[in-house]
Amino acid sequence: MKSVQYMEPKNGETLVHTTIIRNIGLLLTMRQDTNDLLGAVAHAAVVMRGPRIIYAGPEKDLPADYRSGGTCTEIDAHQAVVTPGLIDSHTHVVFAGDRADEFQARHAGADYEEIQRLNGGIHRTVRETRAASYQSLRAAAIERLQSMRRHGTTTVEGKTGYGLEYAAEEKVLNVMRALADEPYLPDVIPTFLGAHIIPAEFRNNRSLYVQHVIQNMAPAFQAQARFCDVYCEASAFSVPETKAILESARALGYMLKMHTNQSHDIGGAALAADLGVISADHLDYVQDEDIQKLAGAGVIATLLPGCSFSMQTAFPNAHRFLERGAVVALASDYNPGTCNCENLQMIMALAVAHCSLTIEQSLQAVTVNAAKALALPDRGHIAAGKRADALIWKIRDYREIGYHFGVNLVDQVIISGAVL
Ligand SMILES: [Zn+2]
C-alpha cells in the first residue's frame, strides 16, 4: 500500500473536464516502484483532468482543490476494483470476412498448413481484404474495437498483413489512422506487417516479394506505422529474409516486432534477441537458451494463449520465461483464423489455467508489460501524469478474474478521460 502524489494542472488545462472515481475498494495502480506486483491501494480515489490522471491514491488524501476550474463528474465505484485499462499489444483487427468454416473443419481434423497451402487460411483473408472497400473494413473494425472496449481494452495494436500489395496495405493503414482518430474507441497503434506470408502471386518468386516489402512498401508506410513486424516461421519468412526486412525497417525509423517460434524453431527467437526487437510474439516452441538471450536483450516475450486454445496446440509455459528474467506480456492475437477473441479477460483466464501465470502476473502482462511491448510508457499503470485510461470492475476481489471466466467482469471503461 502506498500513497501517490498530486499533480498541479498546468496553465491552459484549467477549463477541461475533471472526472473523479471515489469509493474504490481496491485500486490496482500496477506501479512498478513497490514490492507489491499490483501497486495496490485500498480505499482509494482517482482524479482525471481531461486526458490525464492527476491524482491516484488513498481517498482520505484527496486534494481539496481537485474540482478547481471546469466541470466535474463524480463516480461512486461502490468498493469495486479499479485497474488501468487493458492493453492488447498484438492484434490483426482490420480484415474482411471470417473463417468460421475453416475453424470447424480444423476441429474435425483438417490441417491448418494444408488449408493455407490450398489458398485458404491467410490467403483467403487476403483476397477478401483486397476486395473490400475502405468503408466496410472500417465499419467491421469499429464493431470489433467496440467489443474489445466493452471487455476493458483501451489500447489496441493493429497489424496490416492482409493486403500484401501496396494499395491494400495502404488501405488498411488508412483505416487504422481513421480508427485512431475515432473518439471513444480504444487507441489504435498501427504496425506494418507486409511480411505476414508470401502472397500467392509471388509463391514462385519469394525474393521479389521480399524486395517489394523492403524497397517499396516499408519506405512508403513508415510515417503511418509505429512498428514493422515479420512472421518468421517455416511457412512464412526465413531467418535471413526476416533479418533483411527488419534491418531495413529499422534504418527507416520503425521499431521492430516479430511473430516467431509459433509452430517450429527455425532460429527466429535468437534473431529477435540479436536484433533487440521490442517484442517477440508467440514463442510456443523456443529453447531455454534463446529465452535467456531474449531476456538479456530486454525483448518483451508476448505470449498468445488464445491461439493455443483455438488451435488445440500446447500452451506456452510462462514460468520458463519468468525464471530466466524475461518480461512477459499477454495479448489476444485477435484474427479471423487462429484466435477470434476480443476479450483479454479470457486470455488472462487461459494464462492462469494453462500458462502457469498467477493472476497478479497476468494483470501485469496486460497492463504495464503490454505497454512495454508497445514502447508506450504513458499507460499501463495508474499514476499522476499518465493517460486517463481505467476500468471500474464489477468485482470487489480481483482474484475473480480468471476464476469467473467467459463472462465480462468490467462495469465501466474510461478512455483518455471519457467515461463510457
Ligand atoms: Zn499475430
Q: What are phi and psi of 42, to 5 degrees?
A: -85, 155
What is the pLDDT at residue 3?
37
Centroid of ligand 1 to alpha carbon of 228 (angstroms): 13
Centroid of ligand 1 to alpha carbon of 196 (angstroms): 9
What is the pLDDT at residue 4?
37
> Is the CB of residue 199 less than 8 Å from the CB of residue 165?
yes
Q: Would you give per-residue pLDDT tens digits along the chain (420 residues)?
A: 333 334 444 554 446 789 999 999 999 999 988 788 999 999 999 999 999 999 999 999 998 877 666 788 899 999 999 999 999 999 999 999 999 999 998 888 888 778 877 888 899 999 999 999 999 999 999 999 999 999 999 999 999 999 999 999 999 999 999 998 888 999 999 999 999 999 999 999 999 999 999 999 999 999 999 999 999 999 999 999 999 999 999 999 999 999 999 999 999 999 999 999 999 999 999 999 999 999 999 999 999 999 999 999 999 999 999 999 999 999 999 999 999 999 999 999 999 999 999 999 999 999 999 999 999 999 999 999 999 999 999 999 999 999 999 999 999 999 999 998
Centroid of ligand 1 to alpha carbon of 259 (angstroms): 6
Q: Is the dihedral of CA 212, 217, 222, 225 positive or negative?
A: negative
Centroid of ligand 1 to alpha carbon of 307 (angstroms): 9
What is the pLDDT at residue 414?
97
Closest CA to 403 of 345, 319, 356: 345
Angstrom distance (rounded) from CA 331 to CA 89: 6
What does the block give as the cell for 59? 481517498
What is the pLDDT at residue 2?
36
Centroid of ligand 1 to alpha carbon of 262 (angstroms): 10
Closest CA to 379 of 415, 413, 344: 415
Own/partner contacts of 60-69, CB < 8 Å, gap of 24 or more, are: 61/3, 62/20, 62/22, 63/6, 66/6, 66/18, 66/20, 67/18, 67/20, 68/9, 68/14, 69/9, 69/13, 69/14, 69/15, 69/16
Q: Name the strand (E) or helix (H) holding 221.
A: helix 218-221
Centroid of ligand 1 to alpha carbon of 55 (angstroms): 36
Centroid of ligand 1 to alpha carbon of 316 (angstroms): 15
What is the pLDDT at residue 1?
36
What is the pLDDT at residue 14?
47
Give the E-state strand segments of 18-110 in sequence order: 18-28, 40-49, 52-58, 72-76, 81-84, 86-88
Question: Residue 346, CB half-sphere, CA atoms under 13 Å: how many?
Answer: 18
> Is the CB of residue 235 less than 8 Å from the CB of residue 116?
yes
Centroid of ligand 1 to alpha carbon of 404 (angstroms): 27
Centroid of ligand 1 to alpha carbon of 95 (angstroms): 13
What is the pLDDT at residue 56?
97
What is the pLDDT at residue 65?
77
CATH number of 18-85+381-419: 2.30.40.10
Centroid of ligand 1 to alpha carbon of 257 (angstroms): 11
Per-domain boundaries in the chain: 18-85+381-419, 87-373
Domain 87-373: CATH superfamily, name plus number:
Metal-dependent hydrolases (3.20.20.140)
Centroid of ligand 1 to alpha carbon of 205 (angstroms): 24
Centroid of ligand 1 to alpha carbon of 124 (angstroms): 16
Whole-angstrom CA distances from 167 to 134, 136, 399 are 11, 16, 47
Centroid of ligand 1 to alpha carbon of 256 (angstroms): 14
Centroid of ligand 1 to alpha carbon of 333 (angstroms): 5
Centroid of ligand 1 to alpha carbon of 383 (angstroms): 31
Angstrom distance (rounded) from CA 385 to CA 36: 21
Centroid of ligand 1 to alpha carbon of 167 (angstroms): 21
Centroid of ligand 1 to alpha carbon of 189 (angstroms): 14
What does the block give as the cell for 327? 518480461
Centroid of ligand 1 to alpha carbon of 206 (angstroms): 21
**18-85+381-419 matches 87-373 in fold:** no
